[in-house]
Amino acid sequence: MSQAPINPATALWPNDGLTRVPYALYDDQEIYDRERQRLFMGPTWNVLGLECEIPNPGDYKTTFLGDVPVVLVRGKDGSLKGFENRCAHRGALLCLERFGNAKAFTCIYHAWSYDHDGNLTGVAFQNGVKGEGGMPDDFRREDHGLRRLKVAALAGLVFGSFDARVPPLEEYLGPEIVQRIRRVLPRPVKVLGYYTQTLRNNWKLYFENVKDPYHASILHLFFTTFRVNRLSQTGGIIVDDSGGHHVSYSKLDDQPEQKGDDRDYEAAILRADHDDFGLKEPALLGGRDEFGDGITLQILTVFPNLVLQQVRNNLVMRQIVPRGVDQTDLVWINYGFEDDDEDLADLRLLQSNFIGPAGYISMEDGAVGDFIQRALPGTVGDTSIVMMGGDEAASSASRATETSIRGFWKAYRKVMNI
Ligand code: FES
Ligand SMILES: [Fe+2]
């Protein structure tokens, strides 16, 4: 793998710190290609889905690791396996369905077939037809298996890596992130539904957005109007040692706020700050303290492509899939637990209106990344500013900080060697 510095990003990164980010990183094909090679296909764990999506032997799911198509499959022995979804013969997509069950995978083009481990087990006409043609005598099927993934699971979340050097999953995540993942995945999981959303921006702009608590109560009218999330609430930010993973959490205050309680919000004169609205369906903001700790909002990220979200009782796994320099697919998986009672299952679905492409809270996030991407052409040599809360990438009791964005760049620069 090349260690050579590349332009223009290296040349443009203004100093060793994390408070200035070159805009060139969001629309450069060379950077994008390097991300595929060093970051997504490098020593990182990429979320691929939930174990409960493929419960039985032979069940499979097609998805992406970075922008590389992959298949996740449950073997006969119940173990999880994965491989690149690309036939070793002429490179056709091997598996075309989103989900299914298969004893073997047979390519539609010339019928080469593979087992659950990605071994090549059959080649049509290997010995020719009527004694003529066929593969050379020294052709060995063992030499032409599919490129395999390392696969590991934690609390029902499944991760994959193309790089054998990747550290064990729990070591990669660190204890605080592991604990916060387990917090929202304490029992067997059930999928409630999916959305896939196309974002017209570079994947990193979305990952930064999720790590940015500064914008949430300002951009999202709904959050602040109905006091789902204000920076004045009790909460904090955890950033792991690598910088790449984070948790932002807060508790909804039990007591309705009095006028004057939140002077910093009043002083900022935010377009979102009104107290003359009410909801006709108050159950939307109701909820159960199902994890017993009073935390009503937890946003967790794992570098480079997982967002795990709790907004009240709405629980979601989001997978970030880059689709080119300026396009990203965001896959949302709404989940609950197998033992949810009917009221709780209904509440999760009601509260799923918060999120997704047209969610009361999250629809603006689909727009701002696009706003940044559209303004990139004039940014040559320029940088954005990430100074809120200092220049560190460390945990913080305040959420008026961009520390977790700085953490992202710390991890990114290390793996990308820029
Ligand atoms: S491309 Fe798959 S068998 Fe030929
Ligand atoms: Fe947001």
Q: What is the DSSP track for 100-167?
A: EE-SSEE-TTT--EE-TT--EEE-TTTT-BTTB--S-TT--GGGGPPPEEEEEEETTEEEEES-TTPP
Q: Please check whether residue 28 lies inside any domain of the structure.
A: no
Domain edge (last residue) among 154, 187, 203 = 154
Question: How many angstroms does the Cα of residue 116 sit away from the middle of ligand 1?
Answer: 17
Query: 361: domain CATH number?
Result: 3.90.380.10
CA dist 125 and 301 (Å) reads 48
Same structural domain for residues 95 and 184? Answer: no
Question: How many angstroms does the Cα of residue 93 sit away from the middle of ligand 1?
Answer: 9
Residue that has been written with the tokens 């099927």 in this structure = 141
- Which ligand 1 atom minimizes the distance to the CA of 110? 3
Same structural domain for residues 249 and 133? Answer: no
Q: Which two tokens stand for residue 381?
A: 């040599």
160 strand-pairing partners: 46, 151
Cβ neighbours of 2 (radius 10 Å): 9
CA dist 46 and 43 (Å) reads 10
Same structural domain for residues 353 and 249? Answer: yes
Range of the domain at 80: 46-154
Same structural domain for residues 247 and 127? Answer: no
Same structural domain for residues 121 and 210? Answer: no
Question: How many angstroms does the Cα of residue 111 sit away from the middle of ligand 1?
Answer: 6
Same structural domain for residues 123 and 199? Answer: no
Residues in contact with ligand 1 (CB, 6 Å cut-off): 87, 89-90, 92, 107, 109-112
Same structural domain for residues 149 and 253? Answer: no
Cβ neighbours of 188 (radius 10 Å): 12
Angle formed by the axes of helices 203-210 and 363-374, to 10°?
Answer: 130
Closest residue to atom 3 of ligand 1, CA basis: 110
Domain edge (last residue) among 119, 154, 189 = 154
Residue that has been written with the tokens 């990747």 in this structure = 166
Closest residue to atom 4 of ligand 1, CA basis: 110
Same structural domain for residues 378 and 331? Answer: yes
Q: Please check whether residue 8 lies inside any domain of the structure.
A: no
Same structural domain for residues 199 and 335? Answer: yes
CA 225 to chain CA centroid, nearest Å:
28
Q: Which of 253, 263, 266 is nearest to 226 (CA)?
A: 253
Q: Please check whether residue 95 lies inside any domain of the structure.
A: yes
3-state secondary structure at position 186? coil
Decide: 215 and 233 in contact? Cβ < 8 Å: no
Domain edge (last residue) among 154, 185, 208 = 154
The pLDDT value given to residue 269: 57
Work out whether the CA dihedral 214, 44, 305, 298 comes out positive or negative: negative
Same structural domain for residues 140 and 214? Answer: no
CA dist 64 and 71 (Å) reads 8
Mean pLDDT per segment of 10 residues, for the chain of length 418 residues? 51 81 94 97 98 98 98 98 98 98 98 98 96 96 98 98 98 98 98 96 98 90 73 87 96 58 60 65 86 95 98 96 98 98 94 92 94 94 93 92 97 94
- Which ligand 1 atom minimizes the distance to the CA of 124? 3
266-to-55, 214, 270, 397 alpha-carbon distances in Å:
51, 16, 7, 22
| Reported pTM | 0.93
Q: Which of 255, 248, 246 is nearest to 227 (CA)?
A: 255
Structural domains counted in the chain: 2
For residue 122, which ligand has an atom nearest its CA?
1
Same structural domain for residues 211 and 147? Answer: no
The pLDDT value given to residue 1: 45
Question: How many angstroms does the Cα of residue 100 sit away from the middle of ligand 1?
Answer: 20
Same structural domain for residues 135 and 200? Answer: no
261-to-160, 258, 413 alpha-carbon distances in Å:
47, 6, 41
Nearest-5° Cα angle at 104, 59 to 146 = 100
Query: 100: domain CATH number?
Result: 2.102.10.10
- Which ligand 1 atom minimizes the distance to the CA of 87? 2
The pLDDT value given to residue 291: 97
The pLDDT value given to residue 299: 96
